[in-house]
Structures are given as structure tokens and as C-alpha cells.
Copies of this chain bind each other. A is one copy, B any other.
Amino acid sequence: MNCAGAKLTGPGADMDEYKTLREEAFEANLEIKKQNLAIHTWGNVSAFDPARGVFAIKPSGVAYEELKPESMVLVDLEGKIVSGNLKPSSDTRTHQVLYREFPGIRGITHTHSPYAVAWAQANRSVPVFGTTHADQMTGEIICTGFISPEALKKDYELETGKLIVETFRKNNLNSADITMVLVAGHGPFTWGGSASQSVYHAAALEEICKMALLTLTIDPHAKPLPEYIVKKHWERKHGPDAYYGQNKTD
């Protein structure tokens, strides 16, 4: 697939316009490999620019080693390609729905990392077994139901996005606080304030899923962490009086 480095032509050929966004998406896609989150081409990241309403996403089926910033495809929130000669990731329409429905997110990652996939294949939400999980979020990593045959026939990837959004609404989950989900029988989607942060969450999710599986291996009846510890851990990292990390004004 030597097409990955193809020169841009047509309406989006002016590189400068989307240069930064392409580069952000490009760098974040390389992180999938560096952080060992997928073999082959089994993962994709996009970076979103809300001012223009477009996101840059990995081209479909192109190896990470062959990617260049200019191989990223620019897509708007209607799913129209606005720049790029390659076909975007087959999961593009799922990204599109999430950018439309989850306010404030700027990056999305989808992988087939094995522990996260195992929970999705077992069709189970991941209980909060410990503080590693609670550092990320206060509740289970929720697993959606299976997509319905009707939804699948309409537009599989678009409806997968809708399924995620619906699952969040039904369960009163806030996409600003909870930045990861498992799609039943499929695998994880994560998001964040940037493309790079969405990959960070994808790696955190994989590690939490591994720890949870190992916990069940030791004790199949392991109980979730007491609620008051869950709350404390999340608050020290994300609450109004969070004291984890460095202040931006330092």
C-alpha cells in the first residue's frame, strides 16, 4: 500500500490549512504502536477542530509505519471528505457521531487492545475494583448492548456511534467525566481533550481491563472498591480541589 504517501490534489491540496490538525492526528496514531495497543492496522485515532467542524483521521488499512501527516484524511461532521486522497478509516462515521454528540471532545481513539476486547467480547462492564480505575472515573467502564439488526442494516458505523451516545444517556453518564466505553462484541472507544489524550485513555483502559481480569483470576467473587474510596480518588485527580499533577499556571 504505497498510496499512503500520495500527494494531495483537489480541493484540499493546500496543506497549510489543516497542517496542525493532520500532524496531531498523525502523531497520535503512531502512539498506538508505541503504547502497544494494536497489531497490524487495528486501531485509529482522529483529532478534531471544533472551529472548522472537521477532524483528521487515519486512512483505512494503511500500516502505521507508512503513515505521513499528509496521509491523514479530513472529514466534516456530515461525513464529507474535505481534504485528502485516501479513504478514511472504516470507523469514521462512529468518530463523526461522537464529535457531534459529546461536547468538548477533541480526539477519539479506537483500538483492538486484547484485554479491553476480552471484556467487550464477554459483554461485561468493568467493575471499579481499585484506585487505578477510580483515578480515571467513578463508575464501571460501561459495555453497550449489541447493535440491533435494524441499526446495523441502516449504517453500521454511524449507528455504533449512536449506540454509544444512547448508552451514555440511558445511564446518565457524562462524556466529560467518563472518557471510555466498550462496544459489545467489538472493542473500546476512548476520547479526550486532544487526540493524544484519547490515546492516553486507551492505554489506561487496557491496563485497567488487564488488572480487572487478573483480579477475577485470583478471586472470581472479588468485590468492587468501597464507594467512598472511589469518590476520593477521582476527586483528588479531577474534582474541583484536585491536587494531582502540576497547575497549569506553575
* Copies of this chain per assembly: 4
Interface pair B61/A114, CB less than 8 Å apart: no
User: Bound state CA distance, A129 and B118, in angstroms?
Assistant: 9
Which partner residue on chain B sits nearest A200 by CB separation? Answer: B40
A229 within 8 A of B: yes
**With contacts A185-B129, A250-B6 known, is A114 near B211, CB below 8 A?**
yes
A15 within 8 A of partner (CB): no
Stretch at the interface among A22-30, A75-83, A202-210: A202-210
Interface flag for A42 (CB, 8 Å): yes
At the interface with chain B, which of A49-57, A95-103, A171-179, A214-222? A214-222
A246 partner residues in chain B, CB cutoff 8 A: 1, 3, 59-62, 86-87
Contacts A152-B228, A214-B213 given; indicate if A117 touches B132 (C-beta within 8 A). yes
Q: Which of B6, B62, B218, B228 contacts A118 (CB 8 A)?
A: B218
Are B243's CB and A90's CB within 8 A? Answer: yes
Task: Count A interface residues, CB 8 Å.
Answer: 67
Contact with A152, one of B122, B152, B218, B229 (Cβ below 8 angstroms): B229
A33 at the interface (CB under 8 A from B): no
Contact A215–B121 (Cβ < 8 Å): yes
Check A243 against B130 for contact (C-beta < 8 Å): no
Expressed in whole angstroms, the Cα–Cα distance for A130 and B39 within the complex equals 16
Q: Is the CB of B222 within 8 A of A122?
A: yes
A186 at the interface (CB under 8 A from B): yes
B60 lies within 8 A of A219 (CB): no
Closest to A41 in B: B245
Indicate if A162 sits at the interface (CB-CB under 8 A). Answer: no
Q: Are B186 and A130 in contact, CB atoms less than 8 angstroms apart?
A: yes
Per the 8 Å Cβ criterion, residues 192-247 of A in contact with B are 200, 203-204, 207, 210-219, 222-223, 225-226, 228-229, 232, 236-237, 243-247
